[in-house]
Amino acid sequence: MPEVLKQTYNREPFQRVKLQAMGAILLGLLAAHGVFAQKITVEVDRAADFTKYKTFAIRDGQLNSRSPALNSELVKKRIESDIERALTAKGLEVTTGRADLNVVYRFGSAKKIELESYPAGWYGLGTRIVRVPFAEGTLVIDLRDPTTRSLVWRGIASEEKSDATKIEGKLDDMVKKSFDKYPPKK
């Protein structure tokens, strides 16, 4: 057998293992990106006439987090400021009295663990399972019509980060992306 073929033949099993390992790493990176992505969900009352809403008032905000960095008056003020900025940018006017829409929000965070498995061992025949801790923060913003006492719009934003304190840096983005879908298109 020529020398070139011997070298190629002998490296083949190792190249296969190398490709499997690179594939596992790529899959892990893609999975990690999906874990730490922001998710926005909007629910709408299709019977509501959103053209009649001209004013809003922030009535109630609740924080529910075990992290002291996320459970403070400063975070509450920041969320309310972001909501006010987003709705005034949409043409609504803030009021302290009677309003066309009452805004109620809830923000909480929880520690979670996701299990990731990837090939390990000789030729990738075994499986290795790793526990990946992360924090999930969820902001729910409700817009209620006080005349009918019904929910007309709800935005739910979820952010997942490796550390709960890093979620605080994404609050502005969570509010902005939620209100990107307000008013709903018919």
Domain with 32 in it: what CATH number?
3.30.160.670
Q: What is the pLDDT of residue 37?
A: 63
* Band of residue 127 on the pLDDT scale cut at 50, 70, 90: confident
Please state, rounded to an integer, the average pLDDT across all residues of the chain. Answer: 78
Whether 145 and 35 have beta carbons less than 8 Å apart is answered as no
More confident residue, 159 or 105: 105
Q: What is the pLDDT of residue 133?
A: 64
Q: What is the pLDDT of residues 22-50, one digit of tens each?
A: 554 544 444 444 444 678 989 999 999 99
Q: What is the mean pLDDT of residues 57-75?
A: 85
Per the domain annotation, does 106 fall within a domain?
A: yes
Per the domain annotation, does 186 fall within a domain?
A: no
Q: What is the mean pLDDT of residues 83-99?
A: 94
DSSP string, 108-126: EEEEEEEEEEEEESGGG-E
Per the domain annotation, does 105 fall within a domain?
A: yes
More confident residue, 2 or 35: 2
Per the domain annotation, does 184 fall within a domain?
A: no
Whether 168 and 181 have beta carbons less than 8 Å apart is answered as no
More confident residue, 82 or 138: 82
Report the domain count for the chain.
Answer: 1
Alpha carbon distances (Å) from 141 to 31, 67, 78, 86, 99: 28, 20, 14, 12, 16
Q: What is the pLDDT of residue 98?
A: 93
Q: What is the pLDDT of residues 134-182, one digit of tens each?
A: 566 888 999 999 999 899 999 998 887 766 677 778 888 999 999 998 8
Range of the domain at 11: 3-179
DSSP letter at 185? P
Per-residue exposure over 122-151, b if at least 16 CB sit within 10 Å of its own CB, e if not: eebeeeeeeeeebbbbbbbbbbbbeeeeee
Per the domain annotation, does 89 fall within a domain?
A: yes
Q: What is the pLDDT of residue 2?
A: 54
Q: What is the pLDDT of residue 169?
A: 81
